[in-house]
Amino acid sequence: MNHITLSIIEMVIAFLMASGTVWASNKILPRVLEQKEEASDSTEQSTASAVVFASVVIGASLIAVQATQVIGTTLNAVGVDLTQAVTHSLAFAAMAVFFALLTVFFSMTLTMGLTKNDESDQIANNQVGVAVALGAVIIATSMFVAPAVRGLLVNLIPYERSGISELID
Q: How far apart are the first and last CA of the chain?
A: 23
Return d(Cα 119, Cα 137) in angstroms, integer.
13
Residue 6's nearest CA partner among 71, 95, 94, 90 is 71
pTM (two decimals) = 0.77
Return d(Cα 154, Cα 46) in angstroms, integer.
40
- Which pLDDT value is given to residue 117? 80
Host domain of residue 116: 3-168
Instruction: Report which residue type is found at 139.
Output: I
Return d(Cα 7, Cα 75) in angstroms, integer.
9
Q: Give how many domains the chain has, as a whole number.
A: 1
Tens place of pLDDT for every residue, the chain, 169 residues? Answer: 577 887 888 888 888 888 888 888 888 777 777 754 444 444 456 888 888 888 988 988 888 888 887 787 777 775 667 788 788 888 888 888 888 889 988 888 888 888 888 888 888 888 899 899 999 999 999 999 999 988 888 887 766 554 555 555 5
- Which pLDDT value is given to residue 93? 86
